[in-house]
Structure 1
């Protein structure tokens, strides 16, 4: 499938950085370093051209993508699947047994493997991945990989890649380490030194008379309606405390931090992505590697701990050419950090005492059967329409895993659907169907 066909299918138009990256990858034969701001579409900048150079008839791994965390690994494989090229991909990351991943690798025979450095090295040690046919080695979020202490693991991983494999490095910030990883590569630098965050982001300050800022946070979120919003805090226990307060108010939200187990993190992220939660309370774990469209608001409940943290938090909104807002909630002894270059406008929260918490449009169903049970997306749509009485317009994103599936449906239809499908079978199989809260 040609790039133009893929972009038409996705309904997007490539920006200058993506066009230049595609030309450099397809038309060149050397290494490439792409420096471009957060939110500019770097994932597609390399996936689109690389997809043109992968032999779909071969079962060998032809591209290795190195990422700093599981969320970006999963997201990258999802982007590739959504492109609809037929190229098989697999996400490898810690938090689950290597043997389980090996079974999938052996069955799936992916042409693209996206993973964290430690887990990729583990598979190479066990010879679960044969690197001899690798044509491209991509290091995405290069600066984050180094920041998270992967330097030695990355060096070990790169030493095991074929000498002729082309290296593609992508980063939001420049680094002296780039040359060590990709040598004298061609550089595409699309950063604007005077643009800290896009001018499409409006920065506002909300002043809290109290040190505890939960009450103004709740009122601020009420004023957003159904807008998709990320609330950033600096500590894991702050995520839990803030989320508990907002849930008590009546908000439907996701809580996201590194202390959650793998499934809880995936569930939280999934509900936010598919519109079953319009608020996500997160540590800075949610500030990088997540390409979630249509996030309208970023709220700094706690001040960012560094300029880099600020840039990556705000980079979650105004993706591509969209607009967005970033709010600082400031107690009496706080002020907007000096490193914020944007003009900051004071924001007065509208009077909304007694207002009901806006609810997201969708709810997420957990279905206790998946690919291993021969259940597909088509089967789930048919089940929800025939047994649940839904129309196709009432059904959102569906993801089918090996042993279970998720389906987003219109929240207003939830109770009636659960009542209709109680005790019903899907493809003749009895299973659990319940709401994920």
Structure 2
């Protein structure tokens, strides 16, 4: 009711100074006369509008205030609930106080009393706005009210969803992706429906080609990716990554924490030489540098040749993983110039030390460069950076699950495997 009353007053006058919704509770916090008398003493208020209802006798107190001259400002009032007389029995209107327990509490009786006391009372609620306007216009004509300047209402912005649907605006994307799209009826990998991926039997290598390169790679390229996954699926429990994962697993950590601890060891010394090897060998080869010149330059600069060297394998104890990949690349790749260049470097380094072989990281790095340069899907400057961390994840996960299956306890390194190098006792 208060919303509608404010609406009526705003449309028929220059606005509402203050509005209070009291309600019809059985034990209200304030009553009509509390606010009517306050408005009477407020200079900014020029007329008072009261909307009462059936039940209670508070409106009669307003009548007394008007008769006694305590309220001299024009009062427009109406009590709703006049339809109660149409019912044969008492009717409860909405809340506790909206019920006439005697004739004097009916809306009709209170409207009559207010009108007799001097308040402006319409014939019905429909005429309330007209009465308010007439009283307001009379006060304006007498100079009691100086109408406030009509300020045009601010333009309400168009609803965002509506404006976007009409194409008037667009929402900037938070980030971009070119890998897959799950919004439609069917999942898309680089634009290819998932059903088509299975229908054409692309396999894991072909699927990774779509996700990693956004392209459908030749069959030999897909096979090579799958082979890389197979030969790097695990490197045993002794290597840094697997060791860290095992220690965390035995300490009761969860899979993600254990896997992360293993992956954090990947760097130039362990598992992370793939990217650096691809960069170093590619730069040397593309610049026309001979293998010997490349080795000498790296030695002069005091830098390690990434992808060269192994802690266990050597020229006399070759890594069969590298041999398997080498045989496949030689037989299936259209060209493997960078690999041949790396093998020339290996001949030089192994002549100095037998374990300075082209390791599996280095081999995959240079072989992938050859793959991207010769498969017909990429220009030379678009050859991608690689990292073996995706491959290393699998092996570390196996080790985590293996430790849980074996119910291994907390790991503690044995003392006999630690060399304690302490300062000598200093006498005082």
Q: Is the TM-score greater than 0.5?
A: no
Q: From the CA coordinates, give the structure whose radius of gyration is larger.
A: 2
TM-score normalised by L of structure 1 = 0.19
TM-score of the superposed pair, with normalisation by structure 2: 0.19
Q: Which has the higher strand share?
A: 1
Q: Does 1 or 2 have the higher relative contact order (CA < 8 Å, sep 6+)? A: 1
